Structure 1
Amino acid sequence: MENEDQLAKYLFQLKKLRRDRNKERGDAPHKVVLLLAIIEGVENGDIISNRISVTPELVLSFKSIWSKIVVTDHLQNFAMPFFRLKSDGFWKLHSKHGSFIPRIISTFIGLREAISCAEMDKVLFSFLLNPISREVIKSELLNHYFADTKDRLTNAENDFVNELTTQVLNNDRITYAERIAELRIKMQVSDFEEEIYVRSGIFKREIPKIYNYTCAISGLRIESTINAQLVDACHITPFSISQDDTAGNGFSLTPTIHRAYDRGLITIDEDYLVRISPNITEVDSVYSLKQFDGKKILLPVKKCFYPLQENFGWHRRECFLG
């Protein structure tokens, strides 16, 4: 009975969210979309704690849900609801700078610079962890705020995430770089940074998937019942130089080997064989890099996802300590 009363209290709060009102656009949908994105994160296992950080997965979910159910011409903005939910009684912000929190945050850049995470009320979060009460909360939010468009949530068409995923997996590097250059010109600085952050999140998600969550050099692969990925998506040429988040500019590595690659201690030759820098000295160890010298890297099943030799060529010329 007590749990039912507590849930009823939160449902009442959630249906009374403080939202900006505009005569032409109507009430702002941002907070509701963020809460739905958090629920999706809990369902997917991406969010396991009531201390909720800004992650590519959460921003991706926010954008995807927005693209499906928001039909007003409100400007899509992730930072505003993440910051402004603090006025609704169950959301506390934690600063990166002691106790100081700015009076207002409205940009993605500002949010990431100032806020380390938000803390949701523990009891409310416990209801989100429970599949039954989570579904009740989700249904109440959709029925109350998005009664006319809620059915679109399961529609895969016009999905922002699917569109970007297609670009990451299927665009050639020139087409992709041209698209990034076009967005840089068209978008505000903070919006562009959010866009790049999201695209980077898709790259980090899709590259390990292409390699079956296996390190392309060591072969390490660990299966887990929780969301605990142990391989990184590695850019062959840095995004800052190439503007390339496509499959041809990535392969999967364990964090240690990823670091060695970025520092030029290892590279990949024209035959996809691992080469170790002659400038390093190692003690005998089962973890040594030299054990991989001459080993052919794991390649994706589909040839269209192979890492491009022109990218490895750049790394050999510019980074490798040969």
Structure 2
Amino acid sequence: MKAVLDTKPESAYDDEIASRYHFPPRYLGIMSDCVGDWVVFRRPRAAGEGIAYFATGRVTAIVPDHKNVGYNYAMIEDFLKFDKPVAWRADGRYAESALRAMADISQVGLYLRGRSCRELQENDFALIASAGLSDTLDPANAIQLGLDAANVDAATWGILHDPSWPVERRIVAMLINRKIRDANFRHAICRAYSKRCAVTGIRIINGGGRAEVQAAHIVPVDKGGPDTVQNGIALCSTAHWLFDRHLISIDEEYRLLVSRNKIPAELKGLFQPQCERVLLPDDSRLWPSQHYLADHRQQFGSL
């Protein structure tokens, strides 16, 4: 069963949305029904922004919270943040069928009290997720995101363009497809870093509108790293190669660490001075997480 999970940054619950959702006893039944299926996360109205769905993920298990009797964690995998928030109500129409069915919309707020976890219909999920990935799926962005015919395999091309796919099945296929997830991740990283390499400061856009910069995961996906901006950094191809091999890293103050004896001197001249920070997004909420950087530094230090 698919569901909507409400969450907020200042929540008292022990949430780490990309990996776990903390919930009280009354939601155990509905959350158990979600295991193996997809959910969307909804944020409240805050900081001048409207109520909106902002990400999706797949519930893989329910794990007890041994510190709080009756409380549990829904373990989340395949987390994917939307390209942009999806309004919960647009042009007078709610995105959730249960809310659309209400005769008196003034009672919506009352109805949602005590329903921070609630069922979501399949077609509503498909429409929300499709709207959330609208930039990634826009044909105008295919070349710069690597989803053009020259860069995708036949299976991915079919998911994107075969009209025989049912909408609900197509969306789920997109959410687990590596090429499409990489495109979403690249879009988010390029936007956060203004298409500029964090290490060299280089910003190059080719004739087709594709940035030279690459989206690097700090903790690789195959090692459990999520597709989140906080687990990523924009790097030129050379810096990306060095970063993936732990020949460069980033310290607690976001300064560059360089393996002195394993990098040619001519390459070191490309880097930002080590006493200065690497280039970071304007929004500090998008900076690389020190949790992921610590993992990367540990391997850097072992060389």
- TM-score, normalisation: structure 1: 0.42
Q: Using CA pairs below 8 Å that are at least 6 residues apart, which structure has the higher relative contact order?
A: 1
State the structure with more CA Rg.
1
Whichever structure has more strand as a proportion of its residues is 2
- TM-score, normalisation: structure 2: 0.45
Whichever structure has more helix as a proportion of its residues is 1
